[in-house]
Chain A
Amino acid sequence: AQTVTQSQPEMSVQEAETVTLSCTYDTSESDYYLFWYKQPPSRQMILVIRQEAYKQQNATENRFSVNFQKAAKSFSLKISDSQLGDAAMYFCAYRIQGAQKLVFGQGTRLTINP
């Protein structure tokens, strides 16, 4: 079975600094997608960034980037120049290509200190 593990229940960072959230996954598949979702206090799930497993280049979206290590089955999220609005729960998620279901990690609560 596929599993997604986020080993950091909580993280905090000073405003304007950089923080990295960890995510590892377990799968025997070769084609899949990885996602990071943000859930602020409003509770809406917002897609932050996604990565196709067949792509070697790490995805980047403005201040958000990933470090995708396929062999190590690792998919960490780096947030640069942290802002107060980045405070939220962050969920790592995985989906096999062609499948419907997303498998979520346990989440990491990120606090931004002013």
Chain B
Amino acid sequence: GAVVSQHPSRVICKSGTSVKIECRSLDFQATTMFWYRQFPKQSLMLMATSNEGSKATYEQGVEKDKFLINHASLTLSTLTVTSAHPEDSSFYICSARGTGLTNQPQHFGDGTRLSIL
């Protein structure tokens, strides 16, 4: 089945650091990738939708200058949390949809737990 790899799985860093998270589709080409944020015991909150070769579409309330998304190829999207602060600590999950049929489901990465000290 379709595999999405997310790296790193865990990050602990100091306040003010910028953190980059990678999301790769390993065995399929992903025209569209999605970035979610999940707080403890809550559902996934979509942050942005990323299409290869174009600017990401951010959900209302998500700061595009804070959460930089790049989708430079059909197999890689990156999320950079710039100047991270403790309130940015969360679980971040990416997902990807393949090209072709519109009924393809999203396949999720394993997530990244970000802890800002």
- CB of B92 to closest CB in A, whole Å: 11
Tell me if B89 is interfacial: C-beta within 8 Å of chain A: no
For the complex, what is the distance from the CA of A46 to the CA of B93, rounded to whole Å? 12
Which residues of A lie under 8 Å from residue B105 when comparing CB positions?
A: 33, 35, 47, 50
Chain B residues close to A by CB (< 8 Å): 32, 34, 42-44, 46, 49, 91, 93, 95, 97, 102-103, 105-111, 113
Q: Which secondary structure characterizes the binding site on chain B?
A: strand
With A100-B49, A102-B106 known as contacts, the answer to whether A91 contacts B111 (CB < 8 A) is no
Whether the pair A45, B93 counts as a contact (CB closer than 8 A) is: yes
Q: How many A-B residue pairs have CB under 8 A?
A: 46
Which residues of chain A have a CB within 8 Å of any CB of chain B? 33, 35, 37, 42-47, 50, 52, 91, 97-98, 100-102, 104-107
**Closest residue of chain B to A106, judged by CB?**
B43
Chain B positions within 8 Å of A100 at CB level: 32, 34, 49, 97
Question: How far apart are the CA atoms of A105 and B93 in the complex, in Å?
Answer: 16
